[in-house]
Amino acid sequence: MASPVIPLLEVRDLSVHFRTEGQKVTAVDRISFDLAEGEVLGIVGESGSGKSTVALALMQLIATPPGSIDAERLSFKGKDLMSMSDREMRAVRGNEISMIFQEPMSSLNPVFTIGNQLVETICEHEPLTKRQAFAKAVDLLRLVGIPDPEARVTDYPHHLSGGMRQRVMIAMALACAPKLLLADEPTTALDVTIQAQVLELLQHLQGELDMAVVLITHDLGVVAEYTHRVVVMYAGRIVEEAPVADLFAAPQHPYTELLLKSMPPLDEDLHRLLAIPGSVPSPTEMPTGCRFAPRCPYAQNICRETEPAMIRESPARAAACWRLVDYKVPA
């Protein structure tokens, strides 16, 4: 009998709390998912849904205090991230798990050259001389498509365009050939043309290096183009999980359905775009029952009173909605 395949990343009942003004608020609430080697997972949802907080929790970058992380299981390659010491986690962070942040200008140090920052990252994890690390830095810049890397390696961040800075951030994230890359809204600050170039670069590198990628975005168009599977988050919870083709063909949660309807069509009048009424609730003022009920066109009394459980249709497909329990609430 074959041994069960252990996922690269296992997340079970992950919660992230923050204490503010004497009150404990929950930004991420009991979420669970797996990630296989070489898989690209999209995490999608509006601002305030907890997507970025999930990535920071996986990297163990939640400041304590005021934050705290709880999980039944949070493991990478079968190793428990929650039980690692700071020193052990530093060896994993940037080496086996890397992260690309939203705004490259705030992530790069303005007083050091691109080369110095790449060399520092490389030498942190690899036993190379400065000369060897500098040569590798040039190779990394070439890998991510920066022209004339031998000259660019001596530039400061402000000498580069936003797209070039984001490529430098990708080079830094790939410096030690990680098995998992967390990309948190990696194209938010870029114009549409550069966004496409950066995403295509990530897609190419993911295939070439056989990395698993968690792509965090609010853009379902990006999810459709670049991911294998999707997790939809709302107000700190996962409300739907599905292979990308299934999600777009037949969304099961009303929030996912409305997100899809709010996407701009290519062949219709943009004035007919659907806007989801209301906004994501504050973590300090979560509604009773289903958190999406105040904005949901299908909400019934039970939705406002009792939070629905995640109903799993198959190992890869699940959603948390009372409409899936047809004996409780009519569709």
* pLDDT of amino acid 327: 43
Percent of the chain with pLDDT over 90: 45
- Identify residue 86 by its one-letter amino acid code: D
- What is the chain's mean pLDDT, rounded? 87
Q: Is residue 15 part of a domain?
A: yes
Q: Is residue 122 part of a domain?
A: no
* pLDDT of amino acid 45: 92
Q: Is residue 251 part of a domain?
A: yes
Determine the 3-state secondary structure of 168 from DSSP: helix
Residue 15 has pLDDT above 70, yes or no: yes
Please tell me the pTM assigned to this model: 0.88
Per-residue pLDDT band at 160 (split at 50, 70, 90):
confident
pLDDT tens digits for range 144-156: 888 899 998 999 9
Most confident of 117-121, 124-128, 147-151, 292-296: 292-296
Q: Is residue 161 part of a domain?
A: no
Q: Is residue 171 part of a domain?
A: no
Q: Is residue 115 part of a domain?
A: no
The token duo for 44 is 């999608």
pLDDT tens digits for range 281-300: 988 889 999 999 999 999 99
Burial of 320 (0-12, 13-18, 19+ CB in 10 A): buried
Split into its structural domains, the chain has a count of 1
Domain harbouring 265, CATH code:
3.40.50.300
pLDDT tens digits for range 238-288: 999 999 999 999 999 999 999 998 877 655 555 566 778 888 998 888 999
* pLDDT of amino acid 4: 57
Pinpoint the alpha helices (H) of the chain: 51-58, 86-92, 104-107, 114-125, 130-143, 149-152, 162-173, 192-209, 220-226, 244-249, 254-261, 301-305
Q: Of 65-69, 106-110, 201-205, give the lowest mean pLDDT range.
A: 106-110
Q: Is residue 312 part of a domain?
A: yes
Domain span holding position 317: 9-96+176-324
Q: Is residue 47 part of a domain?
A: yes
* pLDDT of amino acid 267: 53
